[in-house]
């Protein structure tokens, strides 16, 4: 049978390259290759001669084997080769859980790269890994194994760059800061410090931070163009005159619930186009000011602002400052001031026990006191002091009392400051009640 196989293989090669075969009677072209590539032949049992047939032919002698012949079929595509060795298993889609031991030389970056196909990735960090980590995918969680475990930047920049969505950081100690650009991250129970900025968000990114402590040399929390930050029970601590606590730049928004802001040049500052919402927070012992709407907008409700070297709350350069819901502005140099800004004091807000004036407003400022019985009391100098072209709107439910100077006083010419509305709530001030023209 070996001779027969050799003959068949020779014929198969000829067919593959040209579809013709040399035969004893000349050269012939065959039309017996089936649609699936099968070729059928008959082999003479006595001498091994080969005769190709066409099973579709209407002539029996050309479509089937004769007596004394055996049918043989093969495929012009050739025989299937042996199966190769099994390759290594791939990373199947699905959740992945990884332990990164920093002391053993493992890194968070490697864990992210090696689990690129995981639908979600939980990374437990043991020790402190010194590296820059770029999270550009979704659904990554970084978790401390023990208190103090975390990440440190190899230089002065941020240690974490977050571009993906639905990411989480839990329990880590981070040296160098977190930068979010277009991504989204939930941060819980972390300590961030040792860098220029602790949390920086921009490019339509979002960071939600809770139960954490943040410090930095420059800006502790920064919301840039399109960035938004939510702080829930977070301690924000500046490092002196060169640092600001919470900064809302143009197009950025910051919202705080509870928490503590202290030790900065400005506790909270909103620049033109930026905004901050401070709800029941404690803003204290900042140098230039506690709340500063410097062209931007700040709404502070509840909580307190105390211990500012200059103004507890400021609106300047077109900024808007709203004080409401019983917020207490106390024990600052000046309680509330406006310099070309706009201030609304309402809904039980209290300005009290400040060293000098309770409220100062000068240049082209506007001031509205009223609605919900706001209180301005027991300040060292005047309750309300107006200058420039400032106009103050008053309400009969205002309580302006017990101040060491006038209740309300306006600077003399060339100033043209004045009051509007009902000043009947001004009483019991040391020097006098109202010394202002009214319109």
Among left, alpha and beta (phi > 0; psi -120 to 50; other), residue 353 is left
Domain count within the chain: 2
Domain shared by 299 and 396, yes or no: yes
Q: How far apart are CA 297 and CA 332, in angstroms?
A: 21
Q: Of 154, 170, 161, 262, which Cα lies nearest the Cα of 214?
A: 262
Give me the pLDDT at residue 76, please: 55
* 198 burial type by CB count under 10 A (0-12 exposed, 13-18 middle, 19+ buried): buried
Q: Kindly state whether residue 84 falls inside one of the protein's structural domains.
A: no
CB-based contacts of 86, cutoff 8 Å, min separation 6: none
Is 248 in contact with 272 (CB distance < 8 Å)? no
User: In this structure, what token pair is assigned to residue 13?
Assistant: 């090669």
Neighbours of 108 (CB within 10 A): 23
Give me the pLDDT at residue 320, please: 98
How high does pLDDT run on average in the chain? 89
Give me the pLDDT at residue 29, please: 35
Stretch 106-117: mean pLDDT:
97
Looking at 45, 75, 105, which one is the last position of a domain? Answer: 75
Q: Kindly state whether residue 93 falls inside one of the protein's structural domains.
A: no
More confident of the two residues 25 and 252? 252
Could you please report the per-residue DSSP string of 312-348?
EEEEETT-EEEEETT-EEESSSEEEEEEB-EEEE-TT
Is 207 in contact with 229 (CB distance < 8 Å)? yes
The DSSP call for residue 161 is: E
Give me the pLDDT at residue 92, please: 56
User: In this structure, what token pair is assigned to residue 212?
Assistant: 């954490």
Full residue range of the structural domain in which residue 60 is found: 2-75
Predicted confidence (pLDDT) at residue 55 exceeds the cutoff of 70: yes
Looking at 58, 75, 92, which one is the last position of a domain? Answer: 75
* pLDDT band at 54; cut points 50, 70, 90: confident
Domain shared by 176 and 284, yes or no: yes
Percent of the chain with pLDDT over 70: 87
Is 175 in contact with 153 (CB distance < 8 Å)? yes
Instruction: For the full predicted model, state whether its pTM sits above 0.85.
Output: no
Q: Kindly state whether residue 290 falls inside one of the protein's structural domains.
A: yes
DSSP-derived 3-state class of residue 142: strand
């Amino acid at each position: 049978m070996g001779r027969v196989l050799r003959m068949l293989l020779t014929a198969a090669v000829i067919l593959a390259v040209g579809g013709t075969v040399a035969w004893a009677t000349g050269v012939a072209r065959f039309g017996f290759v089936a649609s699936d590539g099968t070729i059928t032949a008959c082999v003479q049992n006595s001498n091994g001669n080969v005769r190709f047939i066409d099973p579709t032919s209407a002539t029996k002698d050309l479509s089937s084997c004769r007596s004394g012949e055996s049918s043989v079929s093969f495929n012009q595509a050739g025989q299937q080769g042996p199966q190769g060795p099994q390759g290594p298993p791939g990373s199947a889609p699905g959740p992945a859980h990884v332990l990164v031991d920093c002391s053993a030389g493992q890194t968070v970056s490697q864990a992210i790269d090696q689990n690129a196909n995981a639908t979600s990735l939980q990374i437990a960090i043991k020790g402190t890994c010194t590296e820059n980590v770029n999270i550009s995918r979704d659904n990554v969680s970084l978790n401390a194994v023990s208190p103090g475990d975390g990440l440190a930047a190899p230089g002065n920049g941020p240690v974490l760059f977050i571009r993906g969505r639905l990411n989480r950081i839990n329990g880590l100690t981070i040296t160098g800061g977190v930068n979010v650009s277009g991504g989204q991250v939930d941060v819980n129970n972390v300590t961030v410090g040792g860098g220029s900025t602790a949390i920086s968000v921009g490019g339509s990114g979002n960071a939600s931070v809770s139960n954490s402590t943040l410090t930095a040399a420059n800006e502790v929390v920064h919301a840039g163009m399109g960035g938004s930050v939510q702080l829930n029970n977070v301690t924000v601590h500046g490092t002196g005159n060169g640092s600001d606590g919470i900064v809302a730049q143009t197009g950025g928004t910051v919202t705080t619930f509870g928490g503590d802001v202290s030790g900065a040049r400005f506790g909270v500052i909103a620049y033109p186009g930026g905004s901050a919402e401070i709800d029941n927070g404690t803003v204290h012992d900042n140098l230039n000011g506690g709340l500063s709407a410097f062209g931007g907008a700040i709404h502070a409700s509840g909580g307190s602002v105390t211990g500012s070297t200059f103004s507890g709350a400021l609106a300047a350069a077109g900024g808007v400052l709203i004080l409401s819901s019983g917020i207490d502005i106390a024990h600052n140099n000046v309680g509330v001031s406006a310099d070309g800004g706009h201030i609304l004091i309402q809904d039980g807000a209290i300005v009290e026990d400040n060293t000098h004036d309770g409220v100062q407003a000068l240049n082209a400022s506007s001031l509205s006191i009223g609605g919900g019985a706001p209180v301005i009391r027991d300040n060292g100098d005047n309750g309300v002091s107006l200058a420039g072209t400032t106009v103050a709107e008053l309400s009969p439910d205002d309580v302006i009392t017990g101040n060491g100077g006038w209740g309300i006083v306006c600077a003399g010419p060339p100033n043209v400051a004045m009051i509007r509305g009902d000043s009947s709530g001004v009483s019991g001030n040391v020097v006098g009640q109202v010394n202002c023209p009214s319109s």
